Structure 1
């Protein structure tokens, strides 16, 4: 089978990677005012150079900066949009794992002004990444989907004196994202990923009940989110390949939601204007592959079969068997392989070692080569 020359690649990964000890120490020292912002930046640059080389050496065709300059995969971005500030009210999210529950309490957000874009968020991050990647590797930029702005607070977080009509809020949000996408493209970005937990969460009846409590329409929130994403992507510069990543929560090897993709699958695959979908399929919480029958020709599904929540390494045979099962519902040529999520959606990271992370990235590349050539 012909190797893919444009993203998503047969062997790919979601984005975030475990922070190395030296970077962790630098961030702690900066928080204690023991080093300057410039010194922290130098430490981040060094760590990113190393992790970009790790990805190249593993055989990956794409590379991210590991999200090493962020504390959180999404809130660092959202709080830089004009009109959105940090709320004194903490968000409270309960994550689950085999040993019990973990509480995640990041700063909330509040929309107190018209949403807009003052500069390209993470533009300087991407420019550095692009300057250091090998010519054979495509630099990939990850940003949270616009859906996450509403999903992190609902109607209560949007000042009604600023946006008495939520449709105006969604319109301004999409415009800001369109400017962001154009700005990244101007910096040379050809591979962009919109990370979106809402479209996976909404498969879970408990999450739909939460949306109702937030003032949304639980039966149509996914359609509203897709419409906002499409408005942001409409008119995107030629040559920019866009994927979205769906996940049910990823914090310290724990998760929030469960359920297959059935509830959102029709709109997700037929209406969302992206080139590919990174889908979580690492355990029974993700449901079966049956919804993939709705994927149209020309779109790609990156099967997240390698878990980032545990260090145990999946066998090549087990991965090939699961790829074969997925191929019963969508053509093998439309499939790719990756870990199911990032390894470190927040700076705390998941419960596995740097060596285990490296082995998993290499296993993705090894398996993809055997399946697709």
Structure 2
């Protein structure tokens, strides 16, 4: 089998890790005014350095900061973009009843990417401790703003801040082009876009909801693809950008179900990222036939669940990888957990040791399949 020298890697991972209790306690103390921001960040630095070493020990090539400085996988990045307003909402019943309140966001003025975005400092620290490993940063994808902050945002639809959807889309694209170049200039060579908005377009329930709001979900699929293609169009050649199509991940619960078929042709045949991270850890995800639209991109098969502690049967996982080769060359395939272990600070329902066991399992299976 060929050796991958550029991300993604045979044994890879989505990025977030369970927050240690010491970090949760410190965050609560900071919120209550008991410690300073500098004291909180110092503890975050210690805990991030610890999990970076653990990632190296389990055999991963790419390392992340575990998203330890974030409350949410997406909101901390988006709220720092100029032109975004964040507000609280009641979402009782979401994630199968696991979530009751959340923060939403809307585009309420002209969008731009700030040169002092806090994630740049976060990445700089990660890169400084990564050593010979690849420092990977994860940020929400552009359609997280276009979907949740524009076409799915009641405040925006009631009082739009742009003359047309095309004009706001163009500024979202510019935000991401600027972000990608800024992270590259900071030394980033592996950037992952995480995106749940695509999930709404293959979920029957959410497609019906989109129709009830006056939008055509199939036209939105095309628009999502257009935005993503343009957002990454100027990426430097030696930078890998991957796209994780997330189905929602909160306290081991989920948001979207359905196979990838409704989005597959536009997504896989048009979107020019280096790889797709696809969730395939249960029957809700459908089969591998949508992968027939994959061109030269890599596919990171999320066959190991991050939602439960039990280790999957190795032979079954290898069998599923073999099944995927009916549609994608094995040299274009990689393996990872289907999602992160803590997309929010609450985390999934498993222990830290069970989390690392999952990643050791990924590394072990990848070695059996690809010899690396």
The count of residues paired between Structure 1 and Structure 2 equals 367
| Shift in alpha-carbon separation, 1:237–1:92, aligned structure 2, 3 A | farther
Counterpart in the other structure of 1:118: 114
TM-score when scaled to structure 2? 0.95
| Shift in alpha-carbon separation, 1:123–1:11, aligned structure 2, 3 A | same
Offset of 1:255 from its aligned partner?
A: 0.6
Offset of 1:209 from its aligned partner?
A: 1.9
Check the 8 A contact 1:90/1:108 in 2, yes or no.
Answer: no
The reply to whether residue 163 of structure 1 matches residue 162 of structure 2 is yes
The reply to whether residue 76 of structure 1 matches residue 83 of structure 2 is no
Give CA-to-partner distance per residue, 1:328-362, whole Å, 9 cap, x none: 22111110000000000000000000010000000
Distance across 2 between alignment mates of 1:227 and 1:246: 16
Counterpart in the other structure of 1:326: 324
TM-score when scaled to structure 1? 0.95
Distance across 1 between alignment mates of 2:266 and 2:193: 17
Distance across 2 between alignment mates of 1:303 and 1:45: 31
Q: Secondary structure at the match of 1:105?
A: strand
| Shift in alpha-carbon separation, 1:260–1:348, aligned structure 2, 3 A | same
Check the 8 A contact 1:250/1:345 in 2, yes or no.
Answer: yes
Distance across 2 between alignment mates of 1:26 and 1:309: 25
The reply to whether residue 300 of structure 1 matches residue 298 of structure 2 is yes
Q: Secondary structure at the match of 1:305?
A: strand
Q: Secondary structure at the match of 2:243?
A: strand
Over the aligned positions, Cα root-mean-square deviation in angstroms equals 1.5
Check the 8 A contact 1:246/1:280 in 2, yes or no.
Answer: yes
Deviates more, 1:244-253 or 1:26-35: 26-35
Offset of 1:151 from its aligned partner?
A: 2.4
Distance across 1 between alignment mates of 2:253 and 2:160: 38
The reply to whether residue 142 of structure 1 matches residue 138 of structure 2 is yes
Give CA-to-partner distance per residue, 1:47-106, whole Å, 9 cap, x none: 10011011100100100100000000001111111111112545566113xxxx322421
Q: Secondary structure at the match of 2:241?
A: strand
Which of the residues 310, 317, 321 maps onto 1:312?
Answer: 310
Check the 8 A contact 2:89/2:101 in 1, yes or no.
Answer: no
Q: Secondary structure at the match of 1:158?
A: helix
Offset of 1:201 from its aligned partner?
A: 2.8
Check the 8 A contact 1:198/1:222 in 2, yes or no.
Answer: no
Deviates more, 1:38-47 or 1:107-116: 107-116
Counterpart in the other structure of 1:189: 188
Unaligned runs of 5+ in 2: none
Unaligned runs of 5+ in 1: none
Counterpart in the other structure of 1:13: 13
Distance across 2 between alignment mates of 1:148 and 1:164: 20
